[in-house]
Structure 1
């Protein structure tokens, strides 16, 4: 079929043509947005899930919903070893400068800019190679204590008050939130708690790997009262079929039931992989109906592409010792395993493998679903490891 008409979008954070199986989470987000806009308390969302389940896609969809409801939105992506101050600087600056219009809001917004100036600590700072200039004096006694929790709270409160003054709500969305340190996460949670208590129109949405829920609880015991923690997983068979069939039929084409079954079986129902298989099945088809043979071709092409990109970039970050640990885990299957069993399979003591395990968790390759257990964060990575290191 015509590749230009291919409806599937196998890309990082790219919205699929059919957002199947996520209606409940989207409704939670919409409720939180509407209540926050009205100055009412609402639990926001920290979305959890493995790689490829659509966390970033969902954050993008929430941002669209927020924009349609009159919000200023700022999307931030946390990265390993990023500093929370630097993550917030540009986004808060853009928000405040956008709000800086209308005489009735001038003082609230100017004060917000002065608090940001205090937060920066100087008129011009270099963050990531980009200079940030505000041209205002600092607000003495606000966001200048040197204590991260206090200063982040001051900053977001000032931003929320500026938003309230112009009746323009603000949504901050932070992806890969598991990379934020415990101290920084505690500061962020405390700040959002203060914003909620003040009834200000500012809300935070986040997304991260499954360990984020535990990290949030460790950072602040009251985190569960501020956030819902919806867990995204692979799609059900019915939702996965809809995610494949409906975009195809909207283009005037069709797909056989056997081909749908093959795509679901090979992709395990993970949204990113469904897009990859759907994309390749469409391109393999030379008629207006995708058949089982096309799905088999899609499997071969999808695995080849994933091995060369999606899986490869993660594998290349691993040390030899980390690769050996991941290979031992892969032999045990995709389900969570006891760390002691992995060490035993390697002929090592569990305590001796702790640094390797912790490094893999920090890199976002593994997570601990519960104490003493370990699992892959990347679906199908066990299969890749067996292909990449066939000797074990």
Structure 2
């Protein structure tokens, strides 16, 4: 009797493999190699952007693992975890101190981190009050963050480390003061600490570049790379390779049926793959995923998918719900902003706040100039079939 195996698919969790992301992973590894070889600061903050469920966090976590395998010291922060990205970074940098650190390096970093925590509250109030101007309080906070990053990198080096790599997830959710301070700190470090092997990699939703642009007037320190749905071949790999590693195959009709339903959206590929594995009875080596398992798996997949869609729908305000409904009525692909406005009986300018809010929530994403799309395939159809405008709050 063939033994059972747990599912190799990971819906909602960090993916074990990253098909279709080789180009991005290679870019990260080139940056890490340059840090190792040239022993210099990576002057650009590299940001991977895309909708929810596209695999940004998985890419960052794999990159963190790659960096640590190459003996870099890493820190991880998440935008929106608290009131301040600066304080989050300070707390994470403080965890780097080990018994290998010199007394001087340890004292210098801890004192600097204390300054960051003290300065942030003042800087936040000052920046909000003057609409983003460079108040003395803000400049002090940005310089404090710069000093903290510099002290941490030097401490790592003094302790025999290769370099420091900072990872920031959900950058679009970080406070404007924190984003601005990070941009200023990295700009100053390029001139004043260029000899330090340090880098920043971040991830955020599709509109992260707009969020950063509102927080800081210069953007040349940020490089953006967009993550899209997987191609057909990469989607095949996302389904076939995890199963193959367990000695389990896919019958071609079942594979193509899952591909057609999920349209290369990484989260849905993992979800449907997981439901197929369950429907097949958690197969052992020599097993196969077939069309015999597909109907039950499809039903369970759609229950999970629709629960996600329902959650997104119920989180929408009344205005956002009208926006979503108007957008869904125009079809399943890219739609023009002006057509959505017309469907709502208003102007393009009048829908700006709702559009921004829906991007903040990750429900829609800009696709090209003047156009946008839903981030998850099938959501437009779900809205047309199930959504009742009176249910939105």
Task: Pick the aligned partner of 1:156 from 138, 149, 161.
Answer: 149
- The answer to whether structure 1 residue 21 and structure 2 residue 15 are counterparts is no
- The answer to whether structure 1 residue 94 and structure 2 residue 102 are counterparts is no
- The answer to whether structure 1 residue 356 and structure 2 residue 350 are counterparts is no
Q: Which runs of 5+ in 1 are unaligned?
A: 123-143
Task: Pick the aligned partner of 1:209 from 205, 224, 246.
Answer: 205
Answer whether contact 1:259 1:291 (CA < 8 A) is retained: yes
Mapping for residues 247-326 of structure 1, pairs under 5 Å: 247-285=242-280, 288-308=287-307, 310-326=308-324
Cα RMSD (Å): 2.7
Q: CA 1:374–1:21 in 2, change beyond 3 Å: closer, same or farther?
A: closer
Answer whether contact 2:45 2:223 (CA < 8 A) is retained: yes
Runs of 4+ in structure 1 deviating by more than 6 angstroms, as ranges, are none
**Which has the higher mean CA deviation after the structures are superposed, 371-380 or 170-179?**
371-380
Answer whether contact 2:142 2:181 (CA < 8 A) is retained: yes
Cα deviation for residue 175 of structure 1 reads 0.8
Report the equivalent of 1:130.
none
Secondary structure at 2:226's aligned position in 1? coil
Answer whether contact 2:318 2:389 (CA < 8 A) is retained: no
What do the CA deviations read for 1:155-184 (whole angstroms, capped 9, x no partner)?
222222222322322221111101124443
What do the CA deviations read for 1:348-382 (whole angstroms, capped 9, x no partner)?
33333333223323333333445543333444332
Answer whether contact 2:341 2:351 (CA < 8 A) is retained: yes
Task: Pick the aligned partner of 1:233 from 228, 232, 242.
Answer: 228
Report the equivalent of 1:346.
344
Task: Pick the aligned partner of 1:107 from 104, 112, 116.
Answer: 104
What do the CA deviations read for 1:14-55 (whole angstroms, capped 9, x no partner)?
223x32111121111112123224423445531111111110
| Count of residues in correspondence between the two structures | 363
Secondary structure at 1:30's aligned position in 2? helix
Cα deviation for residue 114 of structure 1 reads 1.0
Distance in 1 of aligned mates of 2:225 and 2:320: 30
The TM-score with structure 1 as length reference comes to 0.83
Answer whether contact 1:211 1:369 (CA < 8 A) is retained: no
Mapping for residues 366-381 of structure 1, pairs under 5 Å: 366-370=364-368, 372-381=370-379
The TM-score with structure 2 as length reference comes to 0.83
Mapping for residues 96-135 of structure 1, pairs under 5 Å: 97-98=97-98, 101-102=100-101, 105-121=102-118
